[in-house]
Amino acid sequence: MVLGFSSMGNLRDPLPDPYLAVAELLILLMAPFMVTLMVAVHACAPARLRALSLTALGWMLILAAVTMTVHFVELTFVRRINPADVPGFDRLLDFQWPSLLYAADIAAWDLFLGLSLLFAAPVFSGLRYRWARRGLFASGALCLLGLVGPVFNVLAWRGLGIFGYAVVFPITCLALSRAFATRGVVADRRPPGPIPSLGSASCRESSGVV
């Protein structure tokens, strides 16, 4: 994705093929792992913060459902029809702004992902996990700021959101992997009951996805 935008020299236009097709395939493969990441965060969250982690998981599920539907439609349906045969194709199915599919994908990656990351950030409340927390806050905030582009019809501002989920979030995943690998729970306190801690075997297995 980054290579594709670099080849165009701007962030206003959508990715062209073959970059777009490759990005869509990667999204279909990546979205389930992002959901699994939030499942692991929720499973290892302290009891007092599990409402936040569950909310983060819910928003991530919505992101995955929306973006996978959009890109599955783009790969399997849109590329096999003649745009001239579909009235209003440009505003419904074309991956250029403004269009329905494009707006749905922006909502998925800027709005739903942004909310998921912001709700997940406070779960990492211990001093030991400050970089994971700060990274989640930063990437989530940048994703939401990317909504300025479609709201004001200046798509160049989407670069904020793209930077949030394409650059800051992957870097944050490195901090998340270290958080899962360390002993204890994300808040440095073992939760009561059967909820596993980040040092437990089940959480160490989950950390391989991060």
Examine the pLDDT at 210 and tell me if it is beyond 60.
no
Q: What is the mean pLDDT of the chain?
A: 83
Of the spans 2-6, 40-44, 190-194, which averages the highest pLDDT?
40-44
Taking the model in full, what pTM does it have? 0.79
- The pLDDT of residue 201 is above 60: no
pLDDT in tens, 91-147: 999 888 899 999 999 999 999 999 999 999 999 988 888 999 999 999 999 999 999
Q: What residues make up the domain containing 148?
A: 2-209
The pLDDT value recorded for residue 36 is 96
6, pLDDT greater than 70: no
The count of domains in the chain is: 1
Whether residue 13 is predicted with pLDDT greater than 70 in this model: the reply is no
- Please check the confidence at residue 41 and state whether its pLDDT lies above 50: yes
Q: How far apart are CA 203 and CA 193, in angstroms?
A: 15
